[in-house]
Amino acid sequence: MRALYDVPAPAKLNLFLHVVGKRPDGYHLLQSIFALIDWADTLHFERRDDGALHRHDSGDALPPDDLCLRAARALQSQSGCGLGADIHIEKRLPAGAGMGGGSSDAASTLLALNRLWGLNWPLSKLLPLGLSLGADVPFFLGGTHAFVEGIGDVLHPISLPEQCFAVVKPQQSIATKDIFSSPHLARSNSVAIVAGFPAHNGSELSGGTQQGFGRNDLQPAAEALSPEVGQALQILQSKFGNSRMTGSGSAVFARVDGKEGANCQSMTFAEGLPSGWVARMCRSLEVHPLRGWADN
């Protein structure tokens, strides 16, 4: 009998994002709420006994620093495991969106191979390995919505009510390094505390500044670099009354309330969007689908 797993890798949205400082090594210090949503890639793993690791879904287009393979190689090396895997990814999440797609793929790879290879590493052992791959990977390993600090590596699990979001990814993507080097990069003057986040209502997305949560500090730089970001924000603002960019973009989202929000999965709003844009209605997840795959 073949040993295999099919696992999801869900995206995240930054409900707000503040730039609150900069480390001596040049990395910016952030504060954000990361919310898990049901837009996800699907990863397929089959165990190999010869130790080889292969991706079979991208052909020559696969970058040499592919996070999924990097995660598999790192786990194999750190554990001394002699097993390998054949890996296929059904890619649904758009690249360059600020939704954490690559980091989520890497986290699901670590969780799946930890089981497939019978390593039984606890979460506390996987988290440092995840951080070595990227600052967002520990969030997807943690399994819950989180108030995030540092460079994205300090996580405080939180609960959020179920919410509906309209998400749009313009065709153009923006390099994160260009965002952080932009003269339009905004910075927050005060540090937030998670207790002040107004998770119970939509005020944090309505353009208000309750407790300072009414913005993404990377958004002005993104709009200056990509007119498509501003265009997408205006489209969502006109339809839903709110809009915000997630992460470093270029995807943007709006919270959908009332009757439309209650019928989230049956709604469509992609008609009339420019060619090459991707749009989807998404619901927040209660927890990551793989939560508990590595014991604490």
Residues annotated as catalytic are 12, 136
Cβ atoms within 10 Å, residue 32: 24
Long-range contacts of 152-159 (CB under 8 A, 24+ apart): 152/30, 152/32, 156/194, 158/33, 158/194, 158/197, 158/199
Burial tier of 88 (Cβ tally within 10 Å: 0-12, 13-18, 19+): middle
Classify each residue of 58-79 as buried b or exposed e, where b means 16 or more C-beta atoms within 10 Å of its C-beta. Answer: eeeeeeeebbbbbbbebbbeeb
Cis peptide before 243 (omega within 30 of 0): no
Torsion angle (degrees, nearest 10) of CA 234, 240, 243, 246: -120
Q: Are 175 and 250 in contact (CB under 8 A)?
A: no
Bridge-based pairing state of the strands 28-48 and 146-149: antiparallel
Please state whether 47 falls in left (phi above 0), alpha (psi between -120 and 50) or beta: beta
Cα–Cα distances (Å) from 139 to 11, 37, 106, in that order, read 11, 13, 11
Between CA 44 and CA 250 the distance in angstroms is 28
What SS3 class is residue 83?
coil
Beta-carbon contacts of 52 under 8 Å, excluding residues fewer than 6 positions away, are 84
